């Protein structure tokens, strides 16, 4: 037992020493920890935050970032932002989806623009750029990642995306030079990020009267993006609670059966 | 223990059936009446748990295959379509994904249990070897399954592992390259690779199911080993499998499914790597290419050797070694309970496996788990201990160790309690 404590102590000392050794320039800061409404086994998405986050995505992020995997019909499904079917259809119709060739075989209209049609619930969010090259050409060579599963595709998840979103506007430490065409963000690996600060105070005007601070907007859009990445989370956690409760009850009954069957053997 | 059948058909139908296709007799002999040592503990329930895991993987896998598209342009999005648009697709996929982890968790416990109680010793050598073959087939199946979602880790894991075979270039020039090209069906991991991995990923679970049949057959001839490691002396040492072990296995199986459910419903992506939600991109190499947790100890062994061919030999040798265990262990005593030295070496091996796993999860040049020691050196000593345990200590300890006195029979210590 004493050796155990000895090892534990040595371990704690080493741990402390390792943590104290500070990070080299370019090493990302650990993401800020945010208390999300969707944390924990009973977590659910804050509906207001989802709707506001959808607004931030539409008015800000969608200028560069696609949301290829998300379909419009998801916007009115249970566990999502909770738009009514009519609202969802209006949102879909406000997007132009590539169409054509038409029944004459044309792919462009009389003025040479590609044919489009209004979106339907079955359509996915159309991308802001026609292809990767167009996206890079418009973004100083960098490719804005698709945001459909972005939260799941980054270590640190929602906290990380929030930290990137709200991590601008800080002064780089002395001796660290920000590369030309890049921006300083200490939460990004290497600290040089290609994305300029995406969100400022009042980047959007919330219709529900919420004050659009950077922090509020980042929280909202990250809630929306977490939903986009994991649209069935509420259903999953709800079902999971029932399943686990059932299994625990079932295992208790089995335990009693087990004791009963083995009673005479011990 | 597979003595004469004690089954007596009681109805006209079963009597008729018994002289034509005695399936009821078979079931009665192997499941209901099968005499089983009365002292099997918790660690013996993992055989049943593993059968359950295989069944779950096959059933969820078959349904997933109805929706999955094995094409390098469509695979990633088809998995996401399963998650979003297929009824309970998210559940099927998360069960299948975490089911692989649960399967390996159970198989490692099952193997360490066999090692601790000497379940590989005569007359159970073939039972053990079949188990090793199942384990290796599981590794191949899991590896190919991990490639199917076609994320960054899928692609680069496939690249790293298939490239291992190019090490044979050092034996016969161009041989290794020829093998990798043949495995890929092209000059790199590509659509052809994804397609064949999908085909084999669908095939191998049924091969495993067949091997499991043989494994259970080989178990039923000598019967179960037990925590005391002594032979069954008579009927007083055994109980019928049903209801004694059916209920015990079922109870622990349901407890196991609680753990399974916690992962599936509460932390479905915890055991995975976030990079696998980035679509595969042959032009961008991830910062660290990390396999799933259950391959980490073997990955650490591979990376600890600077020479590629030797590393590959060490990797495959570590699995091949398991085949020889029945003959490497020179001790006549099965159970480690009565082996004072071997018991300690066993637990060091368990810790060694965990340490190797940690090494495998670190970047190549990292220090080991908050210590100033380079992980690669921990992995080197860990690999050394792994090989030394089986090839040096196991034969040696059996000769010099003085085992504790064995109990006279299974029934005696059980009743004495």
Q: Residue A247 has what pLDDT?
A: 98
Pick the range with the lowest mean pLDDT from A48-57, A245-254, B1-10, B251-260.
B1-10
Nearest one of A70, A53, A46 to A121, comparing CA atoms:
A70
Question: What is the per-residue pLDDT for A1?
Answer: 38
For an interface test with A, which of B74, B89, B240, B274 has the most A Cβ atoms less than 10 Å from its Cβ? B274
Place A181 in a pLDDT band, splitting at 50, 70 and 90. very high
Following DSSP, what letter does each residue of chain A receive, concatenated? Answer: -HHHHHHHHHHHHHHHHHHHSPPPTTPPPPPPP---TT-STT----HHHHHHHHHHHHHTGGGT---TT-BGGGGGSTTS----HHHHHHHHHTSEEE----TT--SB-TTSPBPEEE--TTSBPPPSSSSHHHHHHHTTT--PPP-SSTTTTSTTHHHHHHHHHH--SPPPPTTPPPPTT-EE-TTSTTSEESSPP---TTSS--TT-----HHHHHHHHHHHHHHHH-TTHHHHHHHHHHHHHHHHHHHHHHHHHHHHHHTTT-
Q: pTM surpassing 0.90?
A: yes
Distance from CA of B279 to the nearest CA of A (A): 10
Query: Tell me, what's the pLDDT at A18?
Result: 43
The pLDDT-based confidence of A146 (bands split at 50, 70, 90) is very high
Q: What is the mean pLDDT of residues B381-393?
A: 98
Decide if B179 contacts B57 (C-beta within 8 A): no
The pLDDT assigned to A265 comes to 79
pLDDT at B80 over 60: yes
Q: What is the pLDDT of residues B264-279, one digit of tens each?
A: 999 999 999 999 999 9
Judged against a pLDDT cut of 60, whether residue A5 lies above it is answered with no
Max alpha carbon distance in chain B (Å)? 75
- Is residue A12 very low, low, confident or very high in pLDDT (cuts 50, 70, 90)? very low
Residue B288 contacts A, CB cutoff 8 Å: no
Helix (H) or strand (E) holding A86: helix A85-93
State phi, psi for B408 to the nearest 5 degrees.
-70, -40
Question: What is the structure's pLDDT at A24?
Answer: 83
Chain A contacts in chain B segment 301-320 (CB below 8 A):
none
* Structural contact between residues B70 and B63, judged by C-beta atoms closer than 8 angstroms: no
The token pair that represents B413 in the structure block: 């210590």
Rounded to an integer, what distance in angstroms lies between the CA atom of residue B252 and that of residue B254?
5
Per-residue pLDDT, averaged over A140-159, amounts to: 97
CB contact under 8 A, B265 and A74: no
Contact predicate A88/A81, CB 8 Å: no
b vs e for A46-55, b when ≥16 Cβ sit within 10 Å of the residue's Cβ?
A: bebbbbbbbb
Tens-digit pLDDT profile for residues B286-315: 988 999 999 999 999 999 999 999 999 999
**Could you give the residue ranges of the DSSP H alpha helices within B86-120?**
89-116
Q: Please answer whether residues B33 and B6 qualify as being in contact, where contact means their C-beta atoms are separated by less than 8 angstroms.
A: yes
Higher pLDDT, B242 or A266: B242
Q: Residue B363: what pLDDT?
A: 86
Q: What confidence tens digit (pLDDT) does each residue in A119-139 have? A: 999 999 999 999 999 999 999
Q: Which residues 184-213 of A have a C-beta within 8 angstroms of B?
A: 189
- The pLDDT value recorded for residue B5 is 85
CA separation for the pair A152, A231 (Å, rounded): 12
Q: Which pLDDT score, from 0 to 100, does residue A214 have?
A: 97
* Alpha carbons B283 and B249: distance in angstroms, whole number: 49
Q: From CA A105, how far away is CA A230, in angstroms rounded?
A: 39
In this prediction, what percent of chain B has a pLDDT beyond 70?
A: 98
| Cβ-based burial of B134 (10 A; exposed 0-12, middle 13-18, buried ≥19) | buried
Average pLDDT over residues B24-29: 92
**How far off is chain B from A262, nearest CA to CA, in Å?**
7
- The one-character DSSP state at B294 is G
Which residues have CB under 8 Å from B217's CB, separation 6+?
Answer: none
pLDDT-derived band at B215, boundaries 50, 70, 90? very high
Whether residue A162 has pLDDT greater than 50: yes
Binned at pLDDT 50, 70 and 90, residue B412 comes out as confident
Query: Residues 6 or more apart from A1 whose CB is under 8 A from it?
Result: none
Question: In the numeric block, which tokens belong to residue A217?
Answer: 């907007």
Q: Does B286 touch chain A (CB under 8 A)?
A: no
**Inter-chain contacts counted by CB atoms under 8 A, chains A and B:** 96
Cross-chain Cβ contact A261/B244 below 8 Å: yes
A89 near A82, Cβ under 8 Å?
Answer: no
Could you tell me which residues come within 8 angstroms of residue B202 by beta carbon, excluding any fewer than 6 positions away? Answer: B61, B65
Distances (CA, A) of B193 to A170, B65, B157, B198, B275: 47, 17, 12, 9, 20
Beta-strand ranges (E) seen in A35-158 are: 96-98, 116-118
Q: What percent of chain A has pLDDT over 90?
A: 88
The C-alpha atoms of residue B166 and residue B125 are separated, in whole angstroms, by 34
CATH class, domain B34-416, is mainly alpha
pLDDT value at A164 more than 90: yes
Our CA-based measurement puts residue B305 at a distance from the nearest CA of chain A, in whole angstroms, of 26
ipTM above 0.95, yes or no: no
Nearest residue to B43 via CA among B138, B110, B126: B110
Residue B85 has pLDDT above 90, yes or no: yes
**Interface residue B250 vs chain A (CB under 8 A):** yes
Q: pLDDT grade, residue A8 (50/70/90)?
A: very low
Name the pLDDT band for B415 (thresholds 50, 70, 90): low
- The model's confidence at residue B414, banded by pLDDT at 50, 70 and 90, is low
- In this prediction, residue A10 carries a pLDDT of 45
Domain residue spans in chain B?
Answer: 34-416
Closest CA to A223 of A47, A83, A64: A47
Please name the residue ranges forming H helices in B267-307: 296-304
Residue A4 confidence (pLDDT): 45
Determine what percent of chain B is predicted with pLDDT higher than 90: 93
Tell me how close the Cα of B277 comes to any Cα of chain A, in angstroms.
Answer: 5
Report the SS3 class of residue B356: helix
Q: What is the pLDDT of residues B307-365, one digit of tens each?
A: 999 999 999 999 999 999 999 999 999 999 999 999 999 999 999 999 999 999 998 88
* Residue B17 structure tokens: 């059936």
CB contact under 8 A, B251 and A258: yes
Give the minimum alpha-carbon distance from B45 to chain A in angstroms, rounded to a whole number: 13
Report the distance separating Cα B158 and Cα B164, nearest Å: 10
Q: Phi and psi (nearest 5°) for A182? A: -115, 170
Find out whether the peptide bond into A227 is cis, omega within 30 degrees of 0.
no
The secondary structure of residue A196, as a DSSP letter, is P
Closest-CA residue in chain A for B252? A251
Task: Classify B218 as helix, strand or coil.
Answer: helix
Do A112 and A100 meet the contact criterion of CB atoms below 8 Å apart? no
């Amino acid at each position: 037992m004493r050796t155990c404590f000895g090892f534990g102590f040595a371990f704690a000392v080493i741990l402390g020493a390792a943590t104290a050794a500070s990070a080299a320039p370019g090493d990302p800061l650990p993401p800020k920890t945010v208390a999300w409404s969707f944390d924990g086994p009973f977590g659910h998405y804050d509906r207001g935050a989802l709707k506001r986050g959808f607004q931030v995505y539409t008015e800000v992020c969608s200028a560069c970032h696609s949301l290829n995997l998300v379909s419009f019909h998801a916007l009115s499904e249970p566990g999502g932002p909770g738009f009514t079917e009519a609202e969802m259809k209006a949102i879909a119709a406000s997007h132009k989806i590539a169409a054509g060739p038409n029944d004459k075989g044309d792919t462009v209209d009389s003025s040479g623009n590609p044919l489009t049609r209004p979106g339907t619930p079955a359509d996915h969010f159309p991308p802001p750029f026609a292809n990767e090259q167009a996206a890079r050409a418009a973004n100083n060579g960098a490719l804005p990642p698709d945001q459909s599963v972005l939260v799941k595709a980054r270590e640190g998840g929602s906290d990380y995306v929030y930290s990137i979103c709200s991590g601008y506007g800080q002064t780089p430490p002395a001796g660290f030079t920000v590369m030309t065409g890049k921006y300083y963000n200490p939460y990004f690996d290497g600290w040089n990020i290609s994305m300029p600060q995406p969100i400022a105070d009042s980047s959007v005007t919330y219709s529900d009267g919420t004050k659009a601070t950077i922090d509020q907007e980042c929280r909202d859009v990250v809630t929306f993006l977490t939903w986009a990445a994991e649209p069935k989370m509420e259903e999953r956690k709800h079902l999971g609670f029932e399943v686990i409760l059932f299994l625990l009850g079932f295992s208790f009954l089995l335990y009693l059966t087990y004791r009963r069957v083995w009673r005479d053997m011990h | 223990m597979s003595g004469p059948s004690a089954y007596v058909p009681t109805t006209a139908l079963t009597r008729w059936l018994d002289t034509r296709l005695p399936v009821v007799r078979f079931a009665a002999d192997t499941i209901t009446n099968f005499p089983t040592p009365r002292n099997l503990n918790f660690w013996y329930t993992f055989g049943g748990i593993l059968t359950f895991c295989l069944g779950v993987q096959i059933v969820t896998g078959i349904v997933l295959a109805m929706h999955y598209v094995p094409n390098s342009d469509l695979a990633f999005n088809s998995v996401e379509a399963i998650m979003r648009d297929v009824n309970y697709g998210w559940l099927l996929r998360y069960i299948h994904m975490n089911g692989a982890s649960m399967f390996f968790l159970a198989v490692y416990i099952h193997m360490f249990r066999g090692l601790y109680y000497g379940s590989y010793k005569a007359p159970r050598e073939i039972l053990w070897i079949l188990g090793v073959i199942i384990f290796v087939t599981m590794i191949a199946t899991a590896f190919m399954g991990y490639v199917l979602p076609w994320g960054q880790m899928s692609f680069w894991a496939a690249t790293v592992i298939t490239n291992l075979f190019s090490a044979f270039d050092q034996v016969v020039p161009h041989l290794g390259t020829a093998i990798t090209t043949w495995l890929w069906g092209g000059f790199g991991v590509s659509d052809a690779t994804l397609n064949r991995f999908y085909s084999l990923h669908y095939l191998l679970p049924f091969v495993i199911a067949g091997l499991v049949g043989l494994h259970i057959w080989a178990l039923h001839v000598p019967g179960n080993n037990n925590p005391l490691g002594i032979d069954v002396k008579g009927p007083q040492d055994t109980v019928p499998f049903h209801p004694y072990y059916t209920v015990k296995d079922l109870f622990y199986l349901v407890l196991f499914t609680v753990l399974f459910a916690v992962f599936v419903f509460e932390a479905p992506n915890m055991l995975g790597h976030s990079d696998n939600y980035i679509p595969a991109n042959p032009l961008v190499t991830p910062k660290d290419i990390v396999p799933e947790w259950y391959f980490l100890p073997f990955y650490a062994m591979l990376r600890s050797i600077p020479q590629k061919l030797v590393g590959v030999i060490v990797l495959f040798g570590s699995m091949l070694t398991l085949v020889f265990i029945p003959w490497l262990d020179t001790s006549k005593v099965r159970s480690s309970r009565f082996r004072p030295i071997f018991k300690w070496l066993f637990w060091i091996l368990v810790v060694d496996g965990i340490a190797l796993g940690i090494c495998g999860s670190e970047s190549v040049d990292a220090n080991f788990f908050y210590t100033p020691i380079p992980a690669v050196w921990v992995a080197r000593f860990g690999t050394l201990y792994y090989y030394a345990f089986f090839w040096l200590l196991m034969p040696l300890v059996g000769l010099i160790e003085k085992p504790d006195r064995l109990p006279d029979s299974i029934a005696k210590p059980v009743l004495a309690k």
